[in-house]
Amino acid sequence: MFFIKRNLPHWERALRILMGLLMGGAVFMGWFGAGPLSWMAGAAAATLASTALVGFCPACAMLGRRALKN
């Protein structure tokens, strides 16, 4: 297992999980249609949920967010 320094606080991780679940549910219910928009929304939902579960966001790291202190 590899070690990464987390750069997402707990409140943001919870918000990302919630938004990922809501967006994933909307994709599952067909609210985005059946075209490329639904695929992009599904990918965004998966990205939100996976970064929340891991606790590290590469985009935030590239924009300068520092690692959290333990």
| Entry pTM | 0.82
pLDDT confidence band for 64 (50 / 70 / 90): confident
* pLDDT greater at residue 67 or residue 29: 29
**pLDDT tier at 1 (50, 70, 90 boundaries)?**
low
**CA gap 23, 42 in Å, rounded:** 7
Burial of 2 (0-12, 13-18, 19+ CB in 10 A): exposed
